[in-house]
Amino acid sequence: MNRIRKIILTVAFIFLTIASVYSQNIIKYTSTGLNLRRADNIKSKVLVVIPKGTPVTIAKDCDCEWIRVSYKGYVGYVASKYLTKQKPTPTTKSISPTSPVRYYTNSYGERVQSPTKYDSAPAGATALCRDGTYSFSRNRRGTCSHHGGVAKWL
């Protein structure tokens, strides 16, 4: 009876050890500003944009196109090709806005940064408006319409 009990306890210990190894969360870093989407496809609604170099938690590592992550209370999917094991090194030149950053909700229901003044083109900008602001519009229609029109598409 003692021998059976030892075997059962040993098997239970091995099972718990394996379960704890597979349930550990893995930290990866975004290699660019990354859209966290509601579902695992490009047409799915963007919940939030995760900044470059941000650590995100994943349940398991895989060679899949989309991976489920959690970030600041949001749970969704990102394209796994934009996740790295190493934290990206910061760029030597940081581009900071020279005017307040505001956001709007576009016709697709996505949260988009409003045109903002920068010294040079920031990541994610799609156009330079004639008044010197950079637009982050996801559609050409109406881009820079309140800023004198588009001076240059990026």
For the cut 70, the answer to whether the pLDDT of residue 10 exceeds it is no
Tokens of 39: 């579902």
Tokens of 89: 């090194």
| Better pLDDT: 32 or 24 | 32
| CA–CA dist 13, 134 (Å, integer) | 58
Q: Are 134 and 115 in contact (CB under 8 A)?
A: yes
For the chain, the first-to-last Cα distance in angstroms comes to 76
Residue 58: CB partners within 8 Å, gap ≥ 6? 25, 26, 27, 28, 67, 68, 69, 83
pLDDT at 90: 60
Report pTM.
0.45
Residue 148: CB partners within 8 Å, gap ≥ 6? 129, 130, 131
What is the helix (H) or strand (E) element at residue 13, kind and residue range? Answer: helix 2-22
Q: Are 143 and 114 in contact (CB under 8 A)?
A: no
Mean pLDDT across 114-132: 89
pLDDT at 129: 92
Listed in order, the ranges of the chain carrying CATH 2.30.30.40 are 25-90
For 25-90, CATH number out of 2.30.140.10, 2.30.30.40, 2.160.10.10, 3.40.50.880 equals 2.30.30.40
Mean pLDDT across 41-47: 88
pLDDT at 150: 92
Percent of the chain whose predicted confidence (pLDDT) is above 90: 14
- For 48-61, what is each residue's pLDDT tens digit? 888 888 888 887 77
pLDDT at 93: 54
Residue 126: CB partners within 8 Å, gap ≥ 6? 135, 136, 137, 138, 143, 153, 154
Q: Are 48 and 72 in contact (CB under 8 A)?
A: yes
